[in-house]
Structure 1
Amino acid sequence: MKFPSDDDGQVLKMLYKEGVDFKEPQNVDFFVAVPDKSSGESVLKSLRDEGFSCELEQDDETEEWTCFCLIKMLLNYDDIIDIQKRLDELSKPYDGYSDGWAVMVE
């Protein structure tokens, strides 16, 4: 299977090599970095209004705020890029930005 040579493509390639089934929907966590709790709550509302299932959390060590959005989906490069762009658009008015994604591998 061929993957683009950018960061997202490399993560997909790694998941493929780990044996993740690309024909079955996976739980994908998308991360949206936000500057503070207030901005995070605004981003959270905006994302939920658009149908995303998200939670806002603060890292105990770094004290950084992040919205975590869980989407069950097929691992498709174009769809992952599109979701990150949408998260960027929705969070930008509150100084947030899409900050990657991950899949838990068992």
Structure 2
Amino acid sequence: MSRDYKQFPDDDNGNVLWQMHEDGDDLTEAHEIEYSIAFSSEEKADQCAIYLLKEEQKITLFEDEDSNEWVVTIYVYMEPEYEDIVDLEEWFTKIAGQFEGEYDGWGCMAYVYDDEEDDDLVLEEEQKAN
């Protein structure tokens, strides 16, 4: 199958979505997509987390021990469509800037059925970082 560049543009987001599609992931099914914002300050991460909770977002907040950064992860249950992902990235980038953080990309679990393994569900993680 040839790539439809309207559905899968030639950029990081389009490339990840195309790879998910090529791997057999059903992009018409909703996925829980994780968007991340990184902070050097716990105080700013806390402020951002509270803001996102007030915006009725599902989040987690943790300290990454390797980088000593505080990471807010936002979980959005949605069909992984290019335009929607770009819109959310823009919104999360704006929010990150308001709290002196940096938008750090998105990822999700890909649900792929492998016919050679008796239709057992095979989980693969797809990641995209800016």
TM-score (norm 2): 0.76
- Identify the structure with bigger relative contact order (alpha carbons < 8 Å, sequence gap 6+): 1
Partner residue of 2:31?
26
Q: What pairs with 1:84-99 in structure 2 (closer than 5 Å)?
A: 84-99=89-104
> How many pairs are equivalent?
106
Question: Does 1:14 pair with 2:19?
Answer: yes
Report the residue type matching 2:23 in the other structure.
E
Letter in 2 for 1:71: V
Q: Distance between the aligned counterparts of 2:56 and 2:10, measured in 1? A: 30
Say which one has the larger Rg. Answer: 2
2:60 is aligned with 1:55 = yes
Question: Retained in 2: the 8 A contact 1:27–1:73?
Answer: yes
Q: Which runs of 5+ in 2 are unaligned?
A: 111-122, 124-130
User: Which structure features the higher share of strand residues?
Assistant: 2
Deviation at 1:60, TM superposition (A): 1.8
When the two structures are superposed, what TM-score results if normalisation uses the length of structure 1?
Answer: 0.92
* Percent identity (aligned): 25
The whole-number CA distance in structure 2 between the counterparts of 1:90 and 1:61 is 24
Structure with greater helix share of residues: 1
**CA-atom RMSD in angstroms:** 1.2
Matched, 1:71 2:62: no
Please tell me whether the aligned partners of residues 49 and 59 of structure 2 are also in contact (alpha carbons under 8 angstroms).
Answer: yes
Cα drift, residue 97 of structure 1: 2.6
Verify the 8 A CA contact 1:29 1:69 in the aligned structure 2.
yes
Cα separation, 2, equivalents of 1:93 and 1:61: 25
